[in-house]
Structures are given as C-alpha cells and as structure tokens.
Amino acid sequence: MPFFLMFVLSFLGNTVLIITITAGSSLHSPMYVLICINACVDLTLVIIFVPKMLLSFLFDWNGITLLGCLVQMFFIHFVGTFQSTLLLGMALDRYVAICIPLRYNDYINISSFLKFSTVVFFRNMFLVLLVVVLASRLSFCASNVIDDCFCQHMALVSLACGNTSINSIIGLLAVFCITVIDAVIFVITYIKIASDVFKTHSGKSHVKAIHTCGTHLIVAGVTLIFTMSSFLAYRFKNSLPPNIHNLISIMYLLFPSTLHPIIYGIRTKAITEQILKLFQCRRIEPISMKVSSIH
C-alpha cells in the first residue's frame, strides 16, 4: 500500500505538472520547459517498474525473461540518466539568467537547446546501451534469482559466472561520464551563481534569485541523496539486510519522482497560480428570464 500510494501520488503530481506547464502560455520559457521534461522523466520512471513490482507483490508474478530484464534495465538506466542532465540544464539556464541576463536570448534559444539535447541524448544512449549489451553477453550458470524488485545493472551482473570486471569498469565509466560530470558542472555553475548573487544583486532581485536557485538545489539535493544511497548500497550490499537494500533501491527511483512535483508546485509561484486557475471552480451566473404573459 505505501508503494501504491506513492505511485498514485507521483502519477497524479507529475501529470498535473505537465498539463499545467503545457496549458499555461506564460510557462513556456526554457526553465519551465525543463521542469516539464523533468516531470515526464519522473513519470516514465515510475511507470516502467512500479506496476510490475506491485503485481509481483500481489500475485507472486516474479518471473521475467532475460530479454525482458535487459529491456527494463535499459529504460530504467537510460531514462534515469536524464535526471542529472536536466538538473544541469536548469543550472545553466539560471546561470545565464542571473549572471549575464542581457545575453540570455543569445545563449538560451531553440538552437542551443537542440544542440545540448542532441549531445546528451547520444552520450546517455551510447553509454547505457554499451552497459546493457555487455550484460547480455554474460553467462548465467548458477542462480537465476535477482535479489531486487526490478532489473538493475549490478543486480544482473552479480548473477553471472566468470569474469565480470569489464562490466563493472564500463558501469563505473558510465556513472562517471554521465552522473559525476553533470554533478561537477552543476556544482561549479551554482558556485558562480552564488558568487554573482552576493556580489552584484540586492533587494528584490537578490531574494528572487535565491528563491529560484533554492528550489533547484532542493530538487538536486533530493535526487543526489537517493542516488548516492543506492550507489553505496550496492557497494556495501553484503553489510545490509536484503530488505533494507531493496527498500533503498525502490526509494531511489520512486521517492524523488513523488517529491519533485510537490516541491515545484509549492515553491514556484507561477506554477501554483496556473494550477489554481486550472482547478478553480467557475461560478455560473444565473440566467435571468423574462416570461411574457399571453393575453
């Protein structure tokens, strides 16, 4: 029930966020478009694995083919890589808007967005596909039981017999080239933003900049905490009880997807106002009618 309720909350929250940004013409700026894409990523992640997991809890449908496992693993990791990438995109957008606002339209435009999207799409696709292809070539001769609620790279590799050092190295390389690089650039960007805000901004612009960046930092913090928790859980798997390890793995994907739309909905005034407009009950004015008497 807790996972089902979180799934429903994540599904409804992200759906409302997507509809709100799509319907509101005032929310079509790059920052809100990135928030909308982030909601699409969160929504896709929970749809990929939560229904299958809940069905396995209810009806003991625990079986999955190797091909099905590889497909699920590809989509979970591929879609998941865009969480850090989108946070980086938001940070770059805020950097230009706060530090060099007069050049905003020169740097943040359709052409720049397409170039950035193309580079990160093929980077993430190539690395995740390489990890999955290498995993598909492994031989499984001992156990065929994955001690997890869904297929992850290290969970599948741990079942293989033989040398899996290449898989581990490529897996770490993918994490470094995607998550670590995105996180490092993200941190450097926000350090520059903070330096500029405290040096040159004052008054209302100072507060507005801090509020906007604070929202992104909260979202980034939630994502980073659960990502690192999952990463460390696999590195110290033997030291953790199986149930705790599985709980961390599930919450790594499910909890941020549930919390992100709540954070954006509460802390972003423009989104809150648009949501209220969408759900506002319109008062129906009574229609006055004149009845003419027939003589």
Q: 89 CB contacts (<8 Å, ≥6 apart)?
A: 34, 116
Provide the 8-state DSSP code for 241: -
pLDDT score at 130: 93
* Residue 16 confidence (pLDDT) above 80: yes
Strand ranges (DSSP E) for 11-168? none
CB 108 within 8 A of CB 91: no
3-state secondary structure of 194: helix
C-alpha distances in Å from residue 220, one per residue of 38, 141, 250, 287: 12, 40, 18, 52
253-295: pLDDT as tens digits: 888 888 888 888 877 788 888 888 877 744 444 444 444 444 4
- Sole residue written with tokens 């994907």: 253
Residues 28-51 pLDDT 10s: 888 888 889 989 999 998 898 888
CA-based nearest residue to 217, from 183, 176, 248, 242: 183
- If one counts every other C-beta atom within 10 angstroms of the C-beta of residue 238, the result is 6
Q: Residue 289: its pLDDT value, please?
A: 46
Point out the least confidently predicted range of 90-104, 166-180, 237-251: 237-251
Confidence grade of residue 122 (pLDDT, cut at 50, 70, 90): very high
Which CATH superfamily does the domain covering 2-276 fall into?
Answer: Rhodopsin 7-helix transmembrane proteins (1.20.1070.10)
pLDDT digits (tens, 9 = 90+) for 184-202: 999 899 888 888 877 765 6
pTM over the 0.85 mark: no
- The letter for the amino acid at 193 is I
pLDDT at 172: 86
Closest to 101 measured CA to CA, from 216, 213, 196, 211:
196
pLDDT, position 141:
73
pLDDT at position 40, please? Answer: 92
